[in-house]
Amino acid sequence: MKRPNLTVEKLNGALGRRAATNDMITAAVMNAVASDDLVLNKVYDFLNIGDVEALGLNAEYDQTNKVLVYSRLKRLFDRNPSITVHCMFVAQNVTMTQMCDKANNYLALILRSKKGTVVQAFVCRNPDEEYEPTIETGIDADSINAMYKAQELCNFEFEKDRYCDFFIEGRSFSGLAATALHLREPVNECPDVSLILFADNDVSKSDALYAGYAAVEDFVGLLSIAEVSQNAGELIPQFNLTDAANGYFLNAGLSSGKHIDEISEESLDLLNEKGYILCGYTSGIPGIYITDTNTCSDIESDYAYVENNRTIKKAIKLARTALLPRIKARIYVDPINGKIAPEVAKDIEILAKTAIKPMEASGDISGGIAAYVDPEQNVLATSKLFVSLTFVPVAIGRYITLKIGFNNPLNS
């Protein structure tokens, strides 16, 4: 028998780190100042903050050039050390609208060169001191124009079987919720795009040049650690914007430069209703959290929230990958009636259903996976095969009503 002793077992996993996944691959385009190491209009692949610092990017670079370049990238990696960031730096006079234009070799070049691996992309500005925003419908017009261009780019990418969600820095909010553009009205609908309006108020107040910034990088960083069906504003510690160790979000605000406490509850409710992404405090929960994951689409749309988009796009990628080997493959038909052979139809249905089974196992869908291949299709004549695949998504409880009161047993 061993002598009495104290045995030590080292624990692992409490930090909540996740292995890198394909759901974390991010594209970013932002303004910067060229240096001996940093070349503009080139795609850099960052796997950690060390890769960023190897380009000579650090706090001193930001301070010298009066930009938020290192700061934004550091926040991404502090939020998610496993994130992959494909980043392009562009001249300070390049607008976000130009960054998102599918005809320009900025964001479009990254998405094209990465061949469909990028699942989320964001653009933000680091303008020079001469920049004066043009305020239209309550916000920098460049943010609104970039939103439309991002949706055009998304539509183009979708046709090329590359699926991505887009996030725009909502700069220089005027402070008037009533005049802000209603992003959820059909005329403005951009279902694959979100506009981030919240800011770290300490950053906003650190320099007059940063008063109009919005913390799009913090949103994307938190989103990258969320499961695809998960709301990045869930009130659990991993989605807390406040990071005391790094000094992040000790104070919340909007891109108006105002502290969140200076903005009325009615204005915040209206901005959320209009589809902007905000942050704030929740009584009973310490810290600051994202209010909701709105997209610029109709509130009744299936894709009114970012997690809806992330879920369907992951399902599309998985199902498409499974079915791709069937392209140009032989499809056997009944020799008498020409219909698709039952066993072939069944095999394709099983293939499609099996493809998204991992999403059910991981909790990203509720289940109810169903696939159907209509045997009446005349593939002999058209060479076209239609496969239907549906599933039951995961619900998000945005509004919970608690009915609570006293009970007198003598009255029962």
Record the tokens describing residue 336, joined without a space.
């008498």
Residue 12, pLDDT score: 46
DSSP single-letter state for residue 257: S
User: What residues does each domain of the chain span?
Assistant: 22-308, 328-393
Positions in the chain whose pLDDT score sits under 70: 1-20
Phi, psi angle pair for 246, to nearest 5°: -100, -5
pLDDT attached to residue 8: 61
| Nearest 10 degrees: Cα torsion 74, 225, 108, 143 | -70
23-53 confidence digits (pLDDT tens): 999 999 999 999 999 999 999 999 999 999 9
Confidence at residue 14, expressed as pLDDT on a 0 to 100 scale: 45
CA angle 65, 68, 74 (to 5 degrees): 125
Which of 375, 374, 371 is closest to 351 using CA atoms? 371
pLDDT score for 401: 84
Spatial separation of the C-alpha atoms in residues 367 and 229, rounded to whole Å: 13
Residues 196-213 have pLDDT tens digits of 999 999 999 999 999 999
For 335-348, give one letter per residue: b (16+ CB within 10 A) or e: eeeebbeeebbeeb
